Amino acid sequence: SAVISQKPSRDICQRGTSLTIQCQVDSQVTMMFWYRQQPGQSLTLIATANQGSEATYESGFVIDKFPISRPNLTFSTLTVSNMSPEDSSIYLCSAKEYSYEQYFGPGTRLTVT
């Protein structure tokens, strides 16, 4: 199974600012995903990070608000831009290879004041 780390683990940010979350996998993986999880709720997929091409965003999420980079097969970043209190959430990255299971990083707890 892949070991995934995320930085920062938590942050408190002011509204209108941006935060970039980093996700590092200990092995090369084809697919990386970014999720958001509100307290007491299930996971919501933000986008699939594609190496060498633009991320694929789910309905309700746009590139201007959540730009994603995937420069290689072990690393991805998610930026939360122009933050508002509604962006307060836990952000999770995950990784998988075809026909294998999906594993998660420890998450980033974001609070926007």
Partner 1 sequence: QKEVEQNSGPLSVPEGAIASLNCTYSDRVSQSFFWYRQYSGKSPELIMSIYSNGDKEDGRFTAQLNKASQYVSLLIRDSQPSDSATYLCAVEMDSNYQLIWGAGTKLIIKP
Q: Does 103 bind partner 1 (CB under 8 A)?
A: yes
Q: Does 8 bind partner 1 (CB under 8 A)?
A: no
Among 14, 85, 98, 113, binds partner 1 (CB under 8 A): 98
Q: Residues binding partner 1: what is the number (CB under 8 A)?
A: 18
- The number of CA neighbours under 13 Å toward the Cβ of 24 is 6
Binding mask 26-65 toward partner 1 (x if CB under 8 A, else -) reads: -----x-x-------xxx-x--x-----------------
φ/ψ of 93, rounded to 5, equals -110, 155
